Amino acid sequence: MSGHGFASHYDDAQAIDSIRKPTAITETTIAEMREIMARYPEPRSALLPMLHLAQSIDGCVTDGAVKICADLLGISEAQVNGVATFYTMYKRREAGEHHIGVCTTSLCAVMGGDALIDQMKEKLGIDEGETTADGKFSLERLECNAACDFAPVMMVNWEFMDQMTPEKADKLIDALVAGQEVRATRGATITSFKQAERVLAGFPDGRADEGPSAAGASLAGLEIARQRGWKAPEVPQTPAIEGEEQ
Amino acid sequence: MSVDTLTPNLSDNWDQFESWKLANYEARGGYKAARKALFEMTSAEIIDVVKESGLRGRGGAGFPTGMKWSFIPQDNPKPKYLVVNCDESEPGTCKDVPMLMATPHTLVEGIIIACKAVNSHQAFIYVRGEVLHVIRRLQKAVADAYQAGYLGKGIFGSDYDLDIVVHSGAGAYICGEETALLDSLEGRRGQPRLRPPFPAVAGLYASPTVVNNAESISSVPAIINNGAAWYKLMGTEKSSGATIYSVSGHVMRPGQYEAPLGITYRELLDLAGGIRPGHRLKFFTPGGSSTPILTDQHLDVALDYEGVAAAGSILGTKALQTYDETVSVVRTTLRYTEFYKHESCGKCTPCREGSWWLVQTLRNLEAGKGREGDVDKLLDVCDNVSMKSFCTLADGFVACITSAIKHFREEFEAGYHTPAWELFPYEKSVYFPDHREKITVSEVADQ
């Protein structure tokens, strides 16, 4: 290995340290966890949503939440930890009120994502995986978030902030700092990381009707089709057997 | 009968007011197909129509959907499950997210029909967790369908019971692989299983399970309504029907284009307004980052399952990430490989270790610090990694790296002495949308 200066396999091992912060989960949340378990033929299927719900309370997966999930499901804490550390959405450090993601997978990176993540680090004064001292923001380098036609893409609390530019990103953070109402480009009013996690756990927040049906790039092909009168083909006429409708 | 260049069907209601609402979906004929399947067709008839339509899996593998359904052993006494894969995460792929946001009831209706076909009374919609508003719309669509009596006990007044659970993932590309998805849905780490047994025999909770992509299931209601013959009017003989192509990158009008299978990249690029002015195409992915890249030599390849395969790549998810000549292919290959390293579940050694070492070598090449022979080393590692794991994640990054070296070997070799950012200044590739030259729909249409 000498000569190439290759990195250790375990340089990010600190990312899976344990969270000794006490959990704020109460009987109410435990009852909701049981409610999630009842949705599935086998209760363990509820573990992913239960961890989302735990994060909606604590802002991360605490040791206390791990124990509660393990006890409810009758599995070991190691098994719960194994799951909690596998998935990137489960945080081992408390996320900010607003969790900012910048996509830097190849296409977004090239189109401007690399510049945006540098800008966000400077603007927020934190590195990837960190949370600001006032708990307002956390920052994450994202892998592809399935919006390449809107590149470069940022996310706030898992809502789309499409077609980002340095100017728009700047204004976005300023608006969130000022506590102004911010809307996702295809989605709802921005709430908070914790409220988003509650929706992911399967408890709707009543905001499904906000936002457009589709917008911008999603409609690129449809707009051309409308303009040119292009349609899916007519249904071929088969000999009518009985006089059905029409 | 000539068929139009674009054939909006799945995307036809995306520009309608509040298209995600049940009443608006029904006003355009929604849930007619579900009633037809429930009251006028047997399970075998549904499977036959879908088989006859030629519908193939839209999640990448292209397996015939009707045939998949017919593999469910009906003599197995265990419950049968339908799991819809909405874990859209393959770099480049961005079709299911807008579809599910705009028309979640199309998926719910497709699920009802598919469940009847395989005799399942419990379905799951597995959505990646990082798309909050898609999850909201799906939760609402399912809740409203329950409210209307289209889900639950005795759906539509029939004697058929059906439950659907919307399940959020938690950030893991590998869960788009069907057996990893099943482990994840069982509350475990999302790691692929060894096959056989296949999910049709022992899937979720070791019960017979169909796993279908969201677009595949959403394609079913129109096939039931209009018939297999209608579906086959579109597309080619072996790749029938229409599908959603996702064009992204250095083009004027990136976006979703629903077209018959077999459209060429040249046609799609034209519709997308072409490459940004003053630039030219360098390379593109036909079906996401796991499919070998193609170049301007492949503009007239028919983008169907056979056409792309004949050109040495894979149709995949029809995700056409487009890069112009300013882009360093070493940089993009590194970024893709970093993605796979990040997303490798760690179960199989060749994938876990291979992605790690390939990233190290590619980083050196990007920085101009590669060593003579590193390109052959990349190919050697790829050869050692290829086809040696439980799933195809490693084959994805092998395809990405080997195709890039095949078309642009000299760029990788330049990494022995010159950083990629000197050969291809990165600021030249930046293309912020607000800085994009404005082009209107009518300008595109008039070209």
ipTM of the complex as predicted: 0.95
User: So what's the pLDDT on residue A21?
Assistant: 84
Cα gap A121→A127, rounded to integer Å:
6
Q: What is the pLDDT of residues B196-227, one digit of tens each?
A: 999 999 999 999 999 999 999 999 999 999 99
Alpha carbon distance B342, A142 (integer Å) = 10
Closest CA to B263 of B2, B7, B5, B1: B5
Alpha-carbon torsion B437, B439, B444, B447, what sign?
negative
**Pair type for strands A154-156 and A159-161:** antiparallel
Strand spans (E) along B250-318: 255-260, 281-285, 294-295
Instruction: List beta partners, residue B52.
Output: none
How many residues can be counted in chain A?
A: 246
What tens digit of pLDDT does each residue of B49-103 get?
999 999 999 998 899 999 999 999 999 999 999 999 999 999 999 999 999 999 9
The Cα–Cα gap between A145 and B179 comes to: 21
Residue B231: strand, helix, or coil: helix
d(CA A145, CA A148): 8
Task: Please count the residues of chain B.
Answer: 447
Q: Are B139 and A225 within 8 A, CB to CB?
A: no
SS3 at position B315:
coil
Average per-residue pLDDT for chain B: 96
Q: Does A185 touch chain B (CB under 8 A)?
A: no
Residues of B in contact with A214 (CB under 8 A): 14-15, 19, 98, 101-102
Pick the CATH number of A98-192 from 3.30.70.100, 3.40.30.10, 2.30.110.10, 3.40.50.720: 3.40.30.10
Which of B212, B232, B252 is the last residue in one of the domains? B232
Q: Residue A216 and residue A238: Cα distance in Å, rounded? A: 39
Place of tokens 């912060």: A21
Residues B179 and B195: their CA atoms lie apart, in Å, by 9
Assess whether B178 and B47 both reside in one domain.
yes
CB hemisphere CA count around A236 (13 angstroms): 13
**Tokens found for residue A166:** 């340095």
Q: Is B3 exposed, middle or buried (0-12, 13-18, 19+ CB in 10 A)?
A: middle
Q: What angle do the packed helices B393-414 and B329-343 form, to 10 degrees?
A: 150
First-to-last C-alpha distance (Å) of chain A: 76
Check pLDDT > 50 for residue B441.
Answer: no
Interface test mutation site (partner B, options A118, A165, A213, A237, max chain B beta carbons within 10 A): A213
Residue with tokens 């049968």: B80
Same domain, B226 and B346: no
Q: What are phi and psi of A68, to 5 degrees?
A: -60, -45
C-alpha dist (Å) from residue B27 to B20, B21, B126: 12, 10, 28
Distance CA B15, CA A155 (A): 24
Cis peptide before A152 (omega within 30 of 0): yes
Overall number of domains in chain B: 2
- The answer to whether the bond into A43 is cis (omega within 30° of 0) is no
* pLDDT < 50 positions in chain A: 1-3, 8, 13, 242-246
Q: Closest to A213 (Cβ–Cβ): which among B19, B186, B230?
A: B19
pLDDT score, position B437: 52
The pLDDT value given to residue A18: 66
Domain-ending residue, one of B232, B262, B279: B232
Host domain of residue B369: 329-416
Q: Which pLDDT tens digit goes with each residue over A128-161?
A: 999 999 999 999 999 999 999 999 999 999 999 9
Supply the pLDDT for residue B101: 98
Structural domain includes residue B287: no
Distance CA A136, CA A20 (A): 21
Q: How far is B63 from chain A (nearest CA, A)?
A: 23
Q: Which residues contact A13 (CB under 8 A, 6 or more apart)?
A: none
What pLDDT was estimated at residue A51? 98
Note whether B429 contacts A110, CB cutoff 8 Å. yes
Q: Nearest residue on chain B to A188, judged by CA atoms? A: B133
Given a cut of 90, whether residue B334 has pLDDT beyond it is yes
- The 10s digit of each residue's pLDDT in B230-242 is 999 999 999 999 9
CB contact under 8 A, A208 and B140: yes
Considering only CA atoms, which of B81, B165, B73 is closest in space to residue B120? Answer: B81
Model confidence pLDDT, tens digit, residues B132-142: 999 999 999 99
Percent of chain B whose predicted confidence (pLDDT) is above 70: 97
Q: Is there a domain that residue B445 lies in?
A: no
Cα separation, A84 vs A86, whole angstroms: 6
Q: If pLDDT is split at 50, 70 and 90, which confidence band does B436 have?
A: low
Beta-carbon-side half-sphere exposure of residue B9 (alpha carbons within 13 Å): 29
Q: What is the CATH number of the domain that holds B382?
A: 1.20.1440.230
Contact residues, chain A, for B205 at CB < 8 Å: 41-42
Q: What average pLDDT does the structure give for chain A? A: 92
Q: Is the pLDDT of residue B443 over 70?
A: no
Question: How distant is the Cα of B311 from the closest Cα of chain A, in angstroms?
Answer: 23
So where are chain A's domains? 13-84, 98-192
From chain B, the residues in CB contact with A73 under 8 A are 187
What pLDDT was estimated at residue B62?
Answer: 93
Give pLDDT, residue A1. 38
Contact (Cβ atoms closer than 8 angstroms) between residue A121 and residue A129: no
The H-or-E segment that residue B201 falls in is: helix B199-202
Query: Would you tell me which residues 118-137 of chain A have a C-beta closer than 8 angstroms to some C-beta of chain B?
Result: none
Residue B1, pLDDT above cutoff 90: no
Asked if B247 and B240 count as a contact pair (C-beta separation under 8 A), the reply is no
Show which of B193, B209, B232 is a domain's final residue: B232
**What pTM was computed for the model?**
0.95
Q: What share of chain B is helix, strand, coil (3-state, %, to 5)?
A: 45, 15, 40
| CB spacing of A44 vs B186 below 8 angstroms | yes
Please report whether residue B248 resides in a domain: no
* Ramachandran class of B286: left when φ > 0, alpha when ψ lies in -120 to 50, beta otherwise: alpha
Residue B118 lies in a domain: yes
Contacts from A20-26 at CB under 8 Å and sequence distance 24+?
A20/A62, A20/A63, A21/A58, A21/A60, A21/A62, A21/A94, A22/A62, A22/A64, A23/A54, A23/A57, A23/A58, A23/A62, A23/A63, A23/A64, A23/A65, A23/A68, A24/A57, A24/A58, A25/A54, A25/A57, A25/A58, A25/A64, A25/A65, A25/A68
Please, what's the b/e burial string for A101-138 (b: 16 or more CB within 10 A of its CB; e: otherwise)? Answer: bbbbbbbbbbbbbbbbbebbbebbebeeebbeeeeebb
Burial A10-19 (b: 16+ CB within 10 A, else e): eeeeeeeeeb
Q: Both tokens of residue B270?
A: 């034209």
DSSP state, residue B447: -
Q: Do A110 and B89 touch (CB under 8 A)?
A: no
CB < 8 Å from A in window 314-373 of B: 319, 321, 323, 327, 331-332, 335-336, 339, 342-343, 345, 356-357, 360, 364, 371
Q: Check if A1 contacts B (Cβ < 8 Å).
A: no
| Cβ-defined contact of B431 to A112 (cutoff 8 Å) | yes
Where residue B37 sits, what CATH number does that domain have?
3.40.50.11540
* Domain contains B181: yes
Please report the number of interchain residue pairs, chain A to chain B, with beta-carbon separation below 8 angstroms.
327
